[in-house]
Amino acid sequence: MSSIARNATKQNIFKSMKDIDLTSREVSHQCGVTMNDSVEARAIAEFMEENDPKVTVTYNPATIRIDGEGKLIFKMSEITEYLGRDMTAETFEVNTSTHYGRMVRVDDDTVILFGDMNEVMEFI
Higher pLDDT, 120 or 109: 109
Average pLDDT on 78-96 reads 93
Please list the residues that pair with 59 across neighbouring strands.
64
Q: Enter the CATH code of domain 29-121.
A: 3.90.56.10
Q: Is the pTM of this model over 0.85?
A: no
The pLDDT of 64-74, averaged and rounded, is 94
| CB-CB contact of 39 with 95 (8 Å) | no
Domain ranges of the chain: 29-121
Give the lowest-confidence range in 17-21, 29-33, 85-89, 97-101: 17-21
Q: Distance between CA 88 and CA 111 in Å, rounded?
A: 10
Contacts of residue 30, Cβ cutoff 8 Å, sequence gap at least 6 = 67, 68, 69, 100, 101, 115
Query: pLDDT band at residue 22, thresholds of 50, 70 and 90?
Result: low
60 touches 66 (CB < 8 A): no
Give 96's contacts (C-beta < 8 A, 6+ positions apart): 33, 34, 35
CA terminus-to-terminus distance, the chain: 36
